[in-house]
Amino acid sequence: MRKPVNKGLRNALIAGVLFLLAGIGYYVFIRITGTTIHCTIRSVTGYLCPTCGITHMFMNLFEFKFAEAFRCNPFMFITWPLIGAEILYIFYVGGNNRELPKWNYVMLYIYIGLLISYGIIRNVI
């Protein structure tokens, strides 16, 4: 008798593969066209948003240029593996029809607060 498939695990794996394929597709698109998505916040206000530089960061990561990637956006460089894992965890929990634990919400609010703080600090310094 076959073991039942864990829907949460399947959802997380599918999401991970789709995010990876989208990232590779965007990388190839940029390499072919030289066109990137521009930051609306920066275009309108002239200030860097907390995620400005993330495209260049990932472009450098794809080319294994870690120091350059860090310089593009240090906060996102350090935290993107955590956010990636969190997104997969949300797909996993949701696929198993469970609620996210309260500590998870607290962690997300702390992260958002740190992200906003980073966005302010990077424009002041």
Residue 53: phi, psi to the nearest 5? Answer: 100, -5
Residue among 73, 49, 79 nearest 60 (CA): 73
Please report which confidence band the pLDDT of residue 43 belongs to, taking 50, 70 and 90 as the band edges. Answer: very high
Please report which confidence band the pLDDT of residue 1 belongs to, taking 50, 70 and 90 as the band edges. Answer: low
Whether the CB-CB separation of 111 and 28 falls below 8 Å is answered with no
Where are the domains positioned within the chain?
Answer: 7-124
Please report which confidence band the pLDDT of residue 5 belongs to, taking 50, 70 and 90 as the band edges. Answer: low
User: At which residue do the structure tokens 């350090």 appear?
Assistant: 78
Per-residue pLDDT tens for 63-97? 999 999 999 999 999 999 999 899 888 888 887 78
Query: How many Å apart are CA 87 and CA 53, to the nearest integer?
Result: 21
pLDDT computed for residue 2 by the predictor: 64
Q: How many CB atoms lie within 10 A of CB 24?
A: 11
pLDDT computed for residue 120 by the predictor: 94
**Residue 38 carries which DSSP code?**
P
pLDDT computed for residue 30 by the predictor: 92
Predicted structure pTM score: 0.78
